[in-house]
Amino acid sequence: MRAIIVDDEPKARSLLKNILLEYGKGIEIVGEASDVKTAVKLINSTTVDLVFLDIEMPNENGFSLFEYYENPTFETIFCTAYSEYAIKAFEVSAVDYILKPISISKLQLAIEKAIKQHGQNQINHRIAVLKENITVNQLQKIALPLSDGLTFVKIDSILYFEADGSYTHVITSNDKFLVCKKIKEFEELLQKDSRFFRVHRSYMVNMQQIEKYNKKEGASLTFCNNKTIPIAREKKNDFDAIVGTFSV
């Protein structure tokens, strides 16, 4: 892939370029830019498949690059020193990033993903979802990788996640999706999100979508699709403590 590096710091560009020359298999560096406007000129004057893009830059930040293109054909890997919350926003939006200081293994994984995704023409949607997730205090949408691409789902619409071996059923108020991710991955992704709680080894639920809580022996939860989900005995006390915060 023909790539450019966009970063306002010369040392940062030089460091990333040297790392890519040694470890960036399949990457050819065809230019560098210190700001968005220079990056736009580069992209318009030569074939660019991949942009390594810093976010925090003077005048225009990295996101503004996409205001110049209605349908960008290049993939993007953001270079960031953002907070933990922002990193979650990247992950649920299916937009790749590398943290500063750069991890070579993470960089290589990001490149592999960019090569696979190149040509799927979903970058605009992914960036829009990322911007939506990163500018508010709660994640708004999550990208679900399906066999034919990505589907973006409003997090508030998710009723629960149901484990199925190495797969997970993501159940929303209107749809059901089978995703090639273990439920543990979703739990880690949403572990700081107070809307979700793992009530059972097979289920993680959206606390705001519960229709009924049956406290009797064999405690269970019911949702708007009439699905009843068990609460594991060892999870009940923690669940009750959380439910108490919702009580009026």
Average pLDDT over residues 88-98: 89
What pLDDT shows up at residue 122? Answer: 76
Average pLDDT over residues 26-53: 96
pLDDT one-digit tens code per residue, 208-241:
999 999 988 789 999 999 999 999 999 999 999 9
Q: Which CATH architecture has domain 2-134?
A: 3-Layer(aba) Sandwich (3.40)
Average pLDDT over residues 2-28: 95
Q: How far apart are CA 185 and CA 188, in angstroms?
A: 5
C-beta neighbour count of 175 within 10 angstroms: 12
What pLDDT shows up at residue 247? Answer: 61
Helices (H) and strands (E) in the chain, counts: 7, 15
Q: How far apart are CA 30 and CA 48, in angstroms?
A: 8
Q: How far apart are CA 141 and CA 152, in angstroms?
A: 6
Q: How far apart are CA 62 and CA 98, in angstroms?
A: 14
pLDDT one-digit tens code per residue, 106-158:
999 999 988 888 877 678 888 889 988 988 778 999 999 988 888 999 999 99
pLDDT one-digit tens code per residue, 163-178:
999 999 999 999 999 9
Domain ranges in the chain are 2-134, 141-246
Residue 36 has pLDDT above 90, yes or no: yes
Residue 56 has pLDDT above 90, yes or no: no
Best CA proximity match to 229, nearest among 181, 162, 164: 162
Q: Which CATH architecture has domain 141-246?
A: Beta Barrel (2.40)
∠ Cα 99 103 107 (to 5°): 85
C-beta neighbour count of 209 within 10 angstroms: 20
